[in-house]
Amino acid sequence: MHIRISHLSRSFKNVKAVNDLSFEFSSGNVFGFIGPNGAGKTTTIRIMASMDMPDAGDVFFDDISVVNYPEEVRKLIGYMPDALPGFTDIQVWEYLDFFARSFGLQGRRRRQTLAEIEEFTSLGEIREKSIASLSKGMKQRVSLARALVHNPQVLIMDEPAAGLDPRARLELRSLLKILASQGKAILLSSHILSELQDICNGAVIIEQGRLLSAGTIPQLLSQVQRQAVPEVSDDAVSAEPDGQLLLVIRCLHDSEAVRLKLLEHPAVQNVILEPGHIVQAQVKCTDAEIPALMGTLFAAGLPIIGFTRQELGLEELFMRITSGKVQ
């Protein structure tokens, strides 16, 4: 299935929450949805889930319009909001059974489906507990199970990892990888950018309701490289980001000599000078190869005080292209 968000706009009074937003993603992928608080992520997600209607634009699931056929869209998607909605005073199995019935599952098929989902989300041991008594992580598991009861082709998740401890985040990430491998299309909004980079095939970054950047993770990381190191060659920009590092070298003096020596090394793709005798080098190598690279500089007697290495990632891209403004 191919999901296309087309020129979406939505206003609340004088605030433009979503402003001519367009992006797309497909089945078998986990697509990150990134933006500061107040960027319009939740509004966009609610429109995609047919819980709100846009002022302009549309969302298409293959050729099915959310504006014209919201009931059809609801059969295709599983929506997981940032907090478990309603009915928290009932038992887990009752909660899931209610939603399974609402989607028309009956008899043996319903019981089998719920048993499979409880096993997949590891809810079997707590199925008779009250939802109100559960931890945040367990409530998120219940919310995911509820979103899966009708076996949707698309999963839309609003900040599913918010408030989870590290173990719960790892477990959630593992479940999402399995779901993507089963061919589901997953849209995942989150502020935990390092985790998005680990799980997502692509991402879209928005601010003040507008698109800032979108693409596969390699495409997005190449933007970091272009911004972190100006005048990067075409070959460097098109290279895969795996192994791409930014070395920040502090010099006592003569940083130009360090720059020239670095450019002689085949792993060095570009070098720029910063104020304060700082040299930034974009290199394509592994951690194990860095000592040999730095060794050539020390062997040449260059006045190096120290160095650090940085991985080019989504967090750096996010900080570079967003201004931190909210609606």
If asked whether residues 44 and 125 sit together in one domain, one would say yes
- Are 179 and 304 in a shared domain? no
Q: Any long-range contacts for 297-302 (C-beta under 8 Å, 24+ apart)?
A: 297/249, 297/258, 297/261, 297/262, 300/261, 302/251, 302/254, 302/257, 302/258, 302/261
Say how far apart CA 2 and CA 166 lie, in whole Å.
32
| Residues 208 and 248 occupy one common structural domain | no
CATH number of the CATH domain containing 262: 3.30.70.100
pLDDT less than 50: residues of the chain: 228-242, 325-327
What is the reported pLDDT for 127? 94
d(C-alpha 201, C-alpha 205), whole Å:
14
Domain extent at residue 162: 2-216
Residue type, 176: L
198 and 283 co-located in one domain:
no
Residues 75 and 189 in one domain: yes
pLDDT of residue 272: 79
Q: Are strands 278-284 and 244-251 parallel, antiparallel or unpaired?
A: antiparallel
pLDDT of 312: 60
What is the total count of domains within the chain?
2
Do 208 and 270 belong to one domain?
Answer: no
Q: Which of 199, 216, 233 is the last residue of a domain?
A: 216
Strand partners, 78: 155
206 and 257 together in one domain = no
Q: What's the pLDDT tens digit per position in 191-233?
A: 667 667 778 888 998 989 999 888 887 777 666 555 544 333 3
* Residue 227 placed within a domain: no
What is the pTM (predicted TM-score) of this model? 0.72
Q: Please tell me the predicted confidence (pLDDT) of residue 14.
A: 87
- Position 234 scores a pLDDT of 33
- Residue 235, domain member (yes or no): no
Task: Based on the fold, state whether residues 269 and 194 are members of the same structural domain.
Answer: no
Tell me what pLDDT residue 238 has.
28
How many Cβ atoms are within 10 Å of 307's Cβ, its own excluded?
A: 16
Question: What per-residue confidence (pLDDT) applies to 137?
Answer: 86
At 61 the pLDDT is 97
